[in-house]
Structure 1
Amino acid sequence: MGSPCGAVGVLRSAVSITAYLDYHHLGITTLKETGEESLFAPEGHDYDAYLASHDKPVKAINWNEIPDDKDLEVWDRLTGNFWLPEKVPVSNDIPTWNKLTGKEQETTMRVFTGLTLLDTIQGTVGAVSLLPDAKTLHEEAVYTNIAFMESVHAKSYSNIFMTLANTPQINDAFRWSEENENLQRKAKIILSYYDGDDPLKRKVASVLLESFLFYSGFYLPMYFSSHAKLTNTADIIRLIIRDESVHGYYIGYKYQVGLREQTPERQEELKAYTFDLLFELYDNEIQYTEDLYDELGWTEDVKRFLRYNANKALNNLGYEGLFPADDTKVSPAILSSLSPNADENHDFFSGSGSSYVIGRAEETTDEDWAF
């Protein structure tokens, strides 16, 4: 049975709407003219104090006046890169999926569920946590775009699951993601900084997630693609990698802009924090990688891939890479699989997957419709 208060609220709303329409019909445009302000006032909400304490005008975003051209550059890149997983024919991968061993299928499900978890964090918490510290409305707009695309990425993995796997496999993978200690640890480490009160540290954590932590998972579909397996699934991952590379680049750029405004002492503090956090995440990621890939025999090359991308993340933040070249020599087949073009690596200007097509609009004339 509904609460009496709820019934009164519904009745009040119905009466208010009816009365408002009646008054509006009579040409009465202000509540004071009716003498019934209380009828229309939202119950339990006093906005007068808010209005009194917020005397500055609320501004609309103006894309004709942009303080930082990088915001428009990245906005155009992100919107130009827009894609949806439904347009990639993952069902074409069913024959090669069925040829994978049970362990390969299980690892694929676990890898993608781990990536789903990180995308969920970045879409619902990470990118959103950067909004309060944005310097302009344009920067805010870019962060909201990033948040949306992270949610698209998270849904992409569900599209892959429901196309290739059965319900027990899906349920097992999500249960594993909640029980795996190293996956949960890295998620909570990142969340702890998103929940903190230091905007620059939030950006560091975000870049390390975007440009480093994802890549232990990205290795698997690139490996399979280089062996002509799950090639359309790999196209989705390439689209995700293309987005993540822009996200890491942009957030890293904003970190560097903010860093220049700090004192030398504060800059040193943030650099030390960045490397300390990287080491902590790296140690955890090594254990996570061993847990996932040891039985497949891929672990050592995945570790090299991790170090390669850890250096990329540091570069995005304006720092020199940490790991020497000999420790980051990834299999050439993996690097070439990162892009549809064998001579490209993933970066700010990478292209999209070869199986993703959006139709082009064309002007029509009356003759086009004369059947």
Structure 2
Amino acid sequence: MRCRMRRKRLIRPTARFVGLIRRASVASGSGCRMQRERLIRPTARICRPDKTRQRRIRHRMRRKMPYPALNSQQDTLMAYTTFSQTKNDQLKEPMFFGQPVNVARYDQQKYDIFEKLIEKQLSFFWRPEEVDVSRDRIDYQALPEHEKHIFISNLKYQTLLDSIQGRSPNVALLPLISIPELETWVETWAFSETIHSRSYTHIIRNIVNDPSVVFDDIVTNEQIQKRAEGISSYYDELIEMTSYWHLLGEGTHTVNGKTVTVSLRELKKKLYLCLMSVNALEAIRFYVSFACSFAFAERELMEGNAKIIRLIARDEALHLTGTQHMLNLLRSGADDPEMAEIAEECKQECYDLFVQAAQQEKDWADYLFRDGSMIGLNKDILCQYVEYITNIRMQAVGLDLPFQTRSNPIPWINTWLVSDNVQVAPQEVEVSSYLVGQIDAEVDTDDLSNFQL
């Protein structure tokens, strides 16, 4: 009886073998114990698997577990595609940080100023090969050494500026843009900058035997490199933060051992500062070089170069208008209310940015005229001109005026900067003021009201 009770107590957790045990013959003594152990031993191994088997089970379970889903808001912010299949109303999208552009449609525009800029830029289309620069080689050989230094150094600096501008607007701005007219304007703007870079090559290879000597010095020239850092750093910071935002989303991340904090507000701030830096570039950084080129032409020297620079200056004025409109729409809060707050926060930094750009241009003028001045232009006059245009440009984007200069010290430059000021006979020189597709083809029925057959 005691043997049967013990057997029931031992096999209770092993129900799989209960029937088998009950059918077994009950014997006394050691025979009962041996049979009981023979029947229960395999059951214990099945009910309590070894540690290796447990680890395998847990490993298989972990492999089958789904990965945690991303936050829906982060999905929206991070998702960038070259063609968004989500239908949206583009008139309700902000300029930046909305849904990526899907259909490039121009029958409706949220901001028609960009459409007007596109049409104007296309009407300005020109090629450097259209301008005859053959006489410039003779003029250049006759220049004194210090004037050769002024001329060739300016070409190096302009090549650097337009090399940056030919690629950076597309890389930095297009992944953030949400409306088609702004997207197309940025692409049109960057394309025209590549024409400027080609123009400098056209000029340089005409006046020197080995253009590579000039181009190779651009990346090693200390004076040029000082200016390059101030221009490219804002682009680089925006591009880097945009990449993190698209790939990782908002939050604190570790990238290559470096802790990176990504937030939409910080990204908006970097965008605003980048646009302000580009505005300073288009507004100030070219004009010392422009003034020198036009001063040569006033003496009837290097006229082919001056005609090309005049076409470039006309384009740059258009690009300046584009960045000014972007900045003013952002700082007004009309496009994005948060941008108005950011613009106010960054006001001092933007002020310092412009003042630094103006100082760098003054230093550049000092570098150009280190060995002597040229007729009609010197370092002091150029520095006054830099202060004059800096005041005008800063006022246009809502910043305080840093300089006392209120009048233009070289008024003759307007003859070259305003294309409507000069009329020439087409058979005499290249017509730089010629526009393409600028006839208004719209006809209203009221225009024909007095017409009789």
TM range (shorter): 0.7 to 0.9
Distance 2:380 2:403 in 1: 15
Structure 1 residue 357, shift from structure 2 partner: 6.3
Distance 1:182 1:126 in 2: 24
SS at match of 2:370: helix
Structure 2 counterpart of 1:56, one-letter code: T
| Correspondence 1:153 to 2:196 | yes
Answer with 258-267 or 237-246: which moved more: 258-267
Structure 1 residue 127, shift from structure 2 partner: 5.0
The equivalences for 1:1-371 within 5 A come to 56=86, 59-167=102-210, 170-197=211-238, 198-261=270-333, 262=337, 265-297=341-373, 298-319=378-399, 321-326=401-406, 329-339=408-418, 342=421, 354=431
Structure 1 counterpart of 2:195, one-letter code: V
Distance 1:304 1:180 in 2: 26
More contact order relative to length (CA 8 Å, sep ≥ 6): 1
Distance 2:176 2:387 in 1: 30
Structure 1 residue 343, shift from structure 2 partner: 7.8
SS at match of 1:295: coil
Distance 1:271 1:158 in 2: 38
Structure 1 residue 246, shift from structure 2 partner: 0.6
Distance 2:122 2:412 in 1: 30
Distance 1:50 1:93 in 2: 49
Structure 1 residue 143, shift from structure 2 partner: 0.3
Structure 1 residue 342, shift from structure 2 partner: 4.8
Q: Which residue of 1 aligns with 2:241?
A: none
Normalising to structure 2: TM-score of the pair?
0.61
* Kept after mapping to 1: 8 A contact 2:419/2:432: no
98 and 338 in structure 1: CA distance in 2 versus 1, 3 angstrom threshold: farther
Distance 1:271 1:234 in 2: 36
SS at match of 1:130: helix
Structure 1 residue 284, shift from structure 2 partner: 2.5
- In the alignment, structure 2 segments of 5+ residues that lack a partner are 1-78, 88-100, 239-269, 424-428, 438-453
Structure 1 counterpart of 2:86, one-letter code: K
Cα shift readout 1:345-371 (whole Å, capped 9, x = no counterpart): xxxxxxx973576899xxxxxxxxxxx
Structure (1 or 2) with the larger CA radius of gyration = 2
Distance 1:199 1:126 in 2: 11
Distance 2:107 2:382 in 1: 45
- In the alignment, structure 1 segments of 5+ residues that lack a partner are 1-48, 345-351, 361-371
205 and 97 in structure 1: CA distance in 2 versus 1, 3 angstrom threshold: same
Distance 2:279 2:430 in 1: 23
Distance 1:55 1:272 in 2: 41
Structure 1 residue 273, shift from structure 2 partner: 1.4
* Kept after mapping to 1: 8 A contact 2:135/2:304: yes
Structure 2 counterpart of 1:258, one-letter code: L
Structure 1 counterpart of 2:367, one-letter code: D
143 and 55 in structure 1: CA distance in 2 versus 1, 3 angstrom threshold: closer
* Kept after mapping to 2: 8 A contact 1:84/1:152: yes
Structure 1 residue 78, shift from structure 2 partner: 0.6
Structure 2 counterpart of 1:270, one-letter code: C
Distance 2:197 2:132 in 1: 17
353 and 69 in structure 1: CA distance in 2 versus 1, 3 angstrom threshold: farther
* Kept after mapping to 2: 8 A contact 1:207/1:317: no
Cα shift readout 1:154-182 (whole Å, capped 9, x = no counterpart): 11000001112221xx3443343223333
* Kept after mapping to 2: 8 A contact 1:130/1:203: no
Structure 1 residue 302, shift from structure 2 partner: 1.6
Aligned positions, number: 301
Structure 1 residue 69, shift from structure 2 partner: 1.1
SS at match of 1:306: helix
SS at match of 1:106: helix
* Kept after mapping to 2: 8 A contact 1:128/1:147: no
Tell me the percent identity.
Answer: 25
Structure 1 counterpart of 2:164, one-letter code: I
Distance 1:162 1:359 in 2: 29
Distance 2:430 2:177 in 1: 32
Distance 1:200 1:153 in 2: 26
Structure 2 counterpart of 1:86, one-letter code: E
337 and 353 in structure 1: CA distance in 2 versus 1, 3 angstrom threshold: farther
Cα shift readout 1:220-250 (whole Å, capped 9, x = no counterpart): 1111011111112111101100000010111
Structure 2 counterpart of 1:267, one-letter code: A
SS at match of 1:179: coil
